[in-house]
Structure 1
Amino acid sequence: MKTILGIESSCDETAAAVVSRGTEILSSVVASQIKVHAPFGGVVPELASRKHLESIAPVVEQALEEAGITAGQVDGVAVTRGPGLVGALLVGFSFAKAYALALDVPWVGVNHLLGHIHSVLMSPSPPEFPFAALLVSGGHTSIYKVSSRTDMEVMGQTRDDAAGEAFDKVSKAMGLGYPGGEIISKLADSGDPHKISFPRSWLDKKKFDFSFSGIKTAVGRYMQVHEETWQDEKADIAASFQEAVVEVLATKLINAAKSIGCPRVAVAGGVAANACLRDRVTQLAAKAGMSVHLPDISLCGDNAAMIAAAGYYKLAAGECSPLNMDVFSRVEKM
């Protein structure tokens, strides 16, 4: 078992990648649907499924071509099983099953969140086990104790909106567009993060759950109260909102690592590309005497390289999925 074809279609990116021995990325192709969903301010599941159907075969062919291999040189197939949009997941999942069956190679369904953790483990200097990992994206915000490549324990998770979802909703409310994370981050660069004191939702400070619906509401309320002036404060609103979210994320991650006596932390997921978050985690970790492990920016968003990497270790351990396996929409055991 050496060369794995990875396929990812959990949300609005159709992705395929070829990875050798779980760490060497031979190719990684991502077909984005941002232009399709931007007019709606978020992902429309039906449109996402249709675009996946159009893109899946060309994306896989391009991944093989860029890797310099033929389909016959694929040793195994790994595909995202969930969580995600069921219709979108089924496109990649069904394609992967058929592809593996046609090639007569083993295949395995991979938890999307486990894939994100592997984006950190694919770095040139991966963290030793165990480590505390913050997985933060548009659909998920959780902290895990990662004890091995297949053993992850949830330490805390969001009780309502994910952090990335809050970015998208605030961006939409301000009329900035989609996806909100990148737009707000760029706008925040020219704003004062301390100009507006938005609330921090700490919940139980001894635990590591999150809640971001309150700050989203607080931003909307600020815009209502300052109806005639907020348009001139967009940069300050963006910076202050981002500051409130990042402070909670970074602080809870460091506290979680302290609680298990672990001097290593990692951040993964789409929001891991946020420069403010990367800087804050690095600063707090340095003060606490911890090492920080961050994925390459290209591996923060949804991609198939991380799925292929996670799949490699599953297949190498003898795990192979049956053809009657199905997708799932919500978080399941890794």
Structure 2
Amino acid sequence: MALSFRFWRLNLLPKPSLSHLQTTLKALKPLKQKLSPICSLPMSSSSLNSLNSHLSVSKNPTFSEPHNPTACPQDDLVVLGIETSCDDTAAAVVRGNGEILSQVVSSQADLLAQYGGVAPKMAEEAHLQVIDQVVQEALDKAKLTERNLSAIAVTIGPGLGLCLRVGVRKARKIAGSFNLPIIGVHHMEAHALVARLNERELQFPFMALLISGGHNLLILARDLGQYIQLGTTIDDAIGEAYDKTAKWLGLDLRRSGGPAIEELAREGDAKSIKFSTPMKQHKDCNFSYAGLKTQVRLAIESKNINATIPISSANSEDRRTRADIAASFQRVAVLHLEERCERAIEWALKIEPSVKYLVVSGGVASNQYVRARLDQVVQRNSLRLVCPPPSLCTDNGVMVAWTGIENFRMGRFDPPPPADEPEDIVYDLRPRWPLGEEYVEGRSEARSMKTARIHPSLTSMIQASSQQQP
């Protein structure tokens, strides 16, 4: 009988050779023995077919139909989650019942302040320096060793490829050494699902707005692994706009731009500067912050603000001007979120009338102004706003471990990698990884960055010019 293995998410790019398949088959027997006290996987005469059904998925796993969950005691699962998608090195140990046994985060705040944002190579080096320590501290705080774990979950995308590789290499090394199954996690899916750890009433279907430094995403979560993308970022995300505005205003970036802008904005007049709301002419749910960033930069230049003078050294008039810009920027940036959410709720209720919740997660979801404004949106639409606690909004290992638990219960995991896996192996990292199918009504001309960033009259001129070319 021909054997065909298609692993869940953490596939290696080279096609498996015969020797690799033999190694995998050898790994499956101890895997079954290791998991049998936790999940009674069906290993009867049809065991091979059953196991294949657990490991086989569609080409894009986030769209696949979930498997029927295997009956297993939830409390017995213990998963280590590793997150290195961008600028924080994080690890956590979580039980199947949602108990957080440990959570460790090593921040790169000093690097962010030094470079004015994320420098991929520097971020990779910082991850490499602390990854072993962070993971070991997570295990120590949980008072466990690798032998007590049920599985390893690790972010494989989206994110910075150099950074993702650090976490994946560490996860596979542990999984191979201790014969542990491994779960590849979608970073944005983890931001959405972590809300289910704290809010046990949060059942599918629900909506999610995911807002961070690299992503804006509006999804309808119909079930685990079944997502409809209602809107996404076509250029810059809101977190990026916060960070750049904070930098141009001379604010302290060691806490990231969001908290710095929110704090200064409390001192300012939010209507003092008339910034235009992005994409008013586009009746979809997509996001664009590149134009607003340009408006802010021009306003700062017109006020002759010197960003080399930190806000702490600014005189009272200069500080008031900076506060007015911060408040005006924040009002319009969040108004863009509100408008998109209003339309997305309308679309989602047409698809799934039973939707009752809007989850708001990601680093920017820690912003209290953002939460307060979006709470008004959901109340107008008779929904309920669910936000994870601030410590679980920013990138963290808990969300990765919990998403690993949710997928593990559905049989979505890879068998242990070889213990002697080569150091130079090429991993299946996914720096760009869409979450869900795009909603047909959500497509628009603005999804083209070229069209979104160029004024319509200039677009016509460019098109006319190109047509005249021989």
Task: Give the alignment's TM-score, normalised by structure 2.
Answer: 0.68
- Residue 213 in 1 paired to residue 290 in 2? yes
The one-letter amino acid paired with 1:216 is K
Alignment of 1:29-44 (within 5 A): 29-44=104-119
Q: Which residue in 1 is equivalent to 2:341?
A: 253
Runs of 5+ unmatched residues, structure 1: none
Distance 2:149 2:281 in 1: 48
Q: CA contact under 8 A between 2:188 and 2:435: conserved in structure 1?
A: no
Identify the match of residue 386 of structure 2 among 293, 296, 305. 293
Distance 2:407 2:381 in 1: 34
Q: Which residue in 2 is equivalent to 1:330?
A: 432
Give the stretch that moved more between structures: 190-199 or 25-34: 190-199
Q: CA contact under 8 A between 2:267 and 2:320: conserved in structure 1?
A: no
Runs of 5+ unmatched residues, structure 2: 1-37, 39-76, 306-316, 350-354, 418-425, 437-470
Distance 2:140 2:319 in 1: 48
- Between Structure 1 and Structure 2, the one with more strand by share is 1
The one-letter amino acid paired with 1:51 is A
Q: Which residue in 1 is equivalent to 2:263?
A: 186
4+ runs deviating over 6 angstroms: none
Distance 2:201 2:392 in 1: 14
Q: Calculate the aligned-residue CA RMSD, in Å.
A: 1.7
Distance 1:264 1:319 in 2: 26
Distance 2:364 2:287 in 1: 15
Give the 3 Å change call, closer, same or farther, for CA 230–222 of structure 1 in structure 2. Answer: farther
The 3-state SS of whatever aligns with 2:81 is strand
Distance 2:123 2:408 in 1: 29
Distance 1:319 1:140 in 2: 25
Q: CA contact under 8 A between 1:22 and 1:308: conserved in structure 2?
A: no
Give the 3 Å change call, closer, same or farther, for CA 9–256 of structure 1 in structure 2. Answer: same
Give the stretch that moved more between structures: 15-24 or 223-232: 223-232
Deviation at 1:235, TM superposition (A): 0.7
Deviation at 1:149, TM superposition (A): 2.7
- Paired residues in the alignment total 334
Give the 3 Å change call, closer, same or farther, for CA 11–298 of structure 1 in structure 2. Answer: same
Give the stretch that moved more between structures: 221-230 or 310-319: 221-230
1:137-187 C-alpha deviation (Å, 9 max, x unpaired): 000001001112322221111111000001111111222242211111111
Deviation at 1:231, TM superposition (A): 5.5
Alignment of 1:1-334 (within 5 A): 1=38, 2-21=77-96, 23-178=98-253, 179-227=256-304, 232-261=320-349, 262-321=355-414, 323=417, 325-333=427-435
1:193-252 C-alpha deviation (Å, 9 max, x unpaired): 122221101345531001111111111111222327766411111011011011111231
Q: Which residue in 1 is equivalent to 2:450?
A: none
1:32-54 C-alpha deviation (Å, 9 max, x unpaired): 01112311110111111111111
Q: CA contact under 8 A between 1:254 and 1:265: conserved in structure 2?
A: no
Q: CA contact under 8 A between 1:203 and 1:209: conserved in structure 2?
A: no
Distance 1:133 1:203 in 2: 22
The 3-state SS of whatever aligns with 1:260 is helix
Q: CA contact under 8 A between 1:126 and 1:293: conserved in structure 2?
A: no
The one-letter amino acid paired with 1:212 is Y
Q: CA contact under 8 A between 2:152 and 2:175: conserved in structure 1?
A: yes
Q: CA contact under 8 A between 2:231 and 2:285: conserved in structure 1?
A: yes
The 3-state SS of whatever aligns with 1:101 is helix
Task: Give the alignment's TM-score, normalised by structure 1.
Answer: 0.95
Q: CA contact under 8 A between 1:257 and 1:264: conserved in structure 2?
A: no
Deviation at 1:190, TM superposition (A): 1.4
Distance 2:162 2:362 in 1: 21
Distance 2:331 2:146 in 1: 47
Distance 2:332 2:162 in 1: 34
1:273-312 C-alpha deviation (Å, 9 max, x unpaired): 0111100111121122111111111101000100011111
